[in-house]
Amino acid sequence: MDNALHRHDISDRIWNLLAPRLPGREGAWGGKARDNRLLINAVFWILRTGASWRDQPPC
């Protein structure tokens, strides 16, 4: 993900609080996630808009 935030993306401050607590991070048990921040942004977008997963924008 590029560093440009879209209006619906979580802020860097919030991300810094969440990232150490998520599975799939470097050094955690199991596999490493490709992009936890992208997934979190997608979940919040779905919750905010009420749209279905297939209606998400490609970014």
The CA distance from 21 to 35, in Å, is 14
The CA distance from 49 to 56, in Å, is 10
Residue 10 pLDDT > 70: yes
What's the whole-model pTM score? 0.66
Q: Is 41 exposed, middle or buried (0-12, 13-18, 19+ CB in 10 A)?
A: buried
* Per-residue pLDDT tens over the stretch 13-59: 999 999 888 877 666 666 667 788 888 888 888 888 888 888 877 77
Residue 2 pLDDT > 60: no
